[in-house]
Amino acid sequence: MSTAGLPVAVVDDDEGVRELLCEALLRAGLPTRAYASAEDFLADEAEALSGCAVIDSLLPGISGTELITMLRAGGNDLPVIFISGAAGALTFHHAHELGAQAMFEKPFDVAALVRRVAGLCATAPPVRAPYVPGTAAAP
Protein backbone atom coordinates (compact mmCIF):
# COMPACT_ATOMS: atom_id res chain seq x y z
CA MET A 1 0.00 0.00 0.00
CA SER A 2 1.32 3.46 -0.82
CA THR A 3 0.74 6.88 0.63
CA ALA A 4 -0.88 8.08 -2.60
CA GLY A 5 -3.61 10.54 -1.67
CA LEU A 6 -2.02 11.54 1.62
CA PRO A 7 -0.92 15.15 1.64
CA VAL A 8 2.65 16.28 1.27
CA ALA A 9 3.63 18.44 4.23
CA VAL A 10 5.54 21.55 3.14
CA VAL A 11 7.32 23.14 6.11
CA ASP A 12 9.08 26.43 5.36
CA ASP A 13 9.01 29.80 7.07
CA ASP A 14 9.14 31.58 3.69
CA GLU A 15 5.56 32.03 2.51
CA GLY A 16 6.66 32.40 -1.12
CA VAL A 17 8.48 29.05 -1.05
CA ARG A 18 5.51 27.35 0.61
CA GLU A 19 3.12 28.72 -2.02
CA LEU A 20 5.44 27.81 -4.92
CA LEU A 21 5.90 24.24 -3.72
CA CYS A 22 2.25 23.69 -2.86
CA GLU A 23 1.13 24.96 -6.27
CA ALA A 24 3.69 22.79 -8.11
CA LEU A 25 2.79 19.69 -6.08
CA LEU A 26 -0.95 20.28 -6.60
CA ARG A 27 -0.41 20.62 -10.38
CA ALA A 28 1.29 17.21 -10.22
CA GLY A 29 -1.77 15.75 -8.51
CA LEU A 30 -0.26 15.66 -5.00
CA PRO A 31 -2.39 17.16 -2.21
CA THR A 32 -0.49 19.42 0.18
CA ARG A 33 -0.60 20.98 3.61
CA ALA A 34 1.57 23.99 4.36
CA TYR A 35 3.21 24.85 7.67
CA ALA A 36 5.23 27.95 8.59
CA SER A 37 7.11 26.17 11.39
CA ALA A 38 8.03 22.80 12.83
CA GLU A 39 5.84 23.64 15.80
CA ASP A 40 2.79 24.09 13.53
CA PHE A 41 3.61 20.79 11.80
CA LEU A 42 3.81 18.93 15.12
CA ALA A 43 0.68 20.60 16.54
CA ASP A 44 -1.28 19.34 13.52
CA GLU A 45 0.13 15.79 13.96
CA ALA A 46 1.08 16.08 10.30
CA GLU A 47 3.86 13.54 10.68
CA ALA A 48 1.26 10.82 11.11
CA LEU A 49 -1.03 12.08 8.35
CA SER A 50 1.40 12.91 5.54
CA GLY A 51 2.76 10.92 2.63
CA CYS A 52 6.08 12.70 2.93
CA ALA A 53 7.45 16.08 3.95
CA VAL A 54 9.51 18.81 2.34
CA ILE A 55 11.22 20.62 5.21
CA ASP A 56 13.42 23.70 5.27
CA SER A 57 16.52 22.74 7.24
CA LEU A 58 16.86 26.18 8.88
CA LEU A 59 13.48 26.96 10.38
CA PRO A 60 13.19 29.41 13.28
CA GLY A 61 12.37 27.75 16.60
CA ILE A 62 12.67 24.01 16.10
CA SER A 63 14.90 23.69 13.03
CA GLY A 64 14.26 21.23 10.24
CA THR A 65 17.22 19.15 11.33
CA GLU A 66 15.94 19.10 14.92
CA LEU A 67 12.48 18.13 13.64
CA ILE A 68 13.69 15.07 11.72
CA THR A 69 15.87 14.08 14.68
CA MET A 70 12.82 14.23 16.95
CA LEU A 71 10.71 12.20 14.52
CA ARG A 72 13.34 9.49 14.06
CA ALA A 73 13.97 9.25 17.81
CA GLY A 74 10.23 8.71 18.26
CA GLY A 75 10.21 5.87 15.71
CA ASN A 76 8.62 7.85 12.86
CA ASP A 77 9.97 7.07 9.38
CA LEU A 78 8.17 9.80 7.44
CA PRO A 79 10.06 10.32 4.16
CA VAL A 80 11.71 13.74 4.27
CA ILE A 81 13.25 15.95 1.64
CA PHE A 82 15.29 18.83 3.01
CA ILE A 83 15.51 22.18 1.28
CA SER A 84 18.11 24.72 2.34
CA GLY A 85 18.92 28.25 1.36
CA ALA A 86 22.11 28.45 3.39
CA ALA A 87 24.96 27.03 1.35
CA GLY A 88 26.99 24.67 3.45
CA ALA A 89 24.61 24.73 6.41
CA LEU A 90 23.56 21.17 5.76
CA THR A 91 25.59 18.86 3.58
CA PHE A 92 24.01 16.10 1.55
CA HIS A 93 25.91 13.58 3.68
CA HIS A 94 24.60 15.07 6.93
CA ALA A 95 21.03 15.16 5.57
CA HIS A 96 21.30 11.45 4.72
CA GLU A 97 22.69 10.69 8.19
CA LEU A 98 19.65 12.40 9.69
CA GLY A 99 17.38 10.13 7.66
CA ALA A 100 16.40 12.45 4.82
CA GLN A 101 15.81 10.82 1.45
CA ALA A 102 17.02 13.85 -0.52
CA MET A 103 18.19 17.43 -0.22
CA PHE A 104 17.72 20.36 -2.57
CA GLU A 105 19.64 23.61 -2.20
CA LYS A 106 17.77 26.84 -2.90
CA PRO A 107 17.27 27.92 -5.59
CA PHE A 108 16.27 24.42 -6.69
CA ASP A 109 14.73 22.82 -9.74
CA VAL A 110 11.05 22.70 -8.75
CA ALA A 111 10.21 20.03 -11.35
CA ALA A 112 13.01 17.77 -10.05
CA LEU A 113 11.79 18.20 -6.46
CA VAL A 114 8.20 17.40 -7.48
CA ARG A 115 9.38 14.22 -9.25
CA ARG A 116 11.31 13.15 -6.15
CA VAL A 117 8.31 13.81 -3.88
CA ALA A 118 6.00 11.85 -6.20
CA GLY A 119 8.39 8.91 -6.11
CA LEU A 120 8.59 8.94 -2.33
CA CYS A 121 4.83 9.16 -1.90
CA ALA A 122 4.32 6.22 -4.26
CA THR A 123 6.58 3.91 -2.25
CA ALA A 124 6.36 5.06 1.37
CA PRO A 125 4.52 3.01 4.01
CA PRO A 126 1.17 4.64 4.86
CA VAL A 127 1.05 4.39 8.65
CA ARG A 128 3.39 6.26 10.94
CA ALA A 129 3.55 6.95 14.62
CA PRO A 130 2.83 10.54 15.61
CA TYR A 131 5.58 12.34 17.51
CA VAL A 132 5.02 11.99 21.22
CA PRO A 133 6.62 14.73 23.32
CA GLY A 134 9.22 13.30 25.65
CA THR A 135 10.26 10.48 23.32
CA ALA A 136 13.26 12.47 22.14
CA ALA A 137 15.49 15.03 23.73
CA ALA A 138 14.02 18.49 23.46
CA PRO A 139 15.88 20.74 21.01
Contact 66, 73 (CB under 8 A): no
- Say whether domain 8-123 belongs to CATH 3.40.50.2020: no
Spatial neighbors of 27 by CB under 8 A, at least 6 apart, are: none
% the chain with pLDDT above 90 = 51
Most confident region among 1-5, 9-13, 119-123 by mean pLDDT: 9-13
> What is the per-residue pLDDT for 15?
97
d(CA 118, CA 29): 9
d(CA 94, CA 103): 10
Question: Where do the structural domains in the chain lie, given as residue ranges?
Answer: 8-123
Helix axes 15-27, 110-123, angle to 10 degrees: 60
Q: Is the pLDDT of residue 137 over 70?
A: no
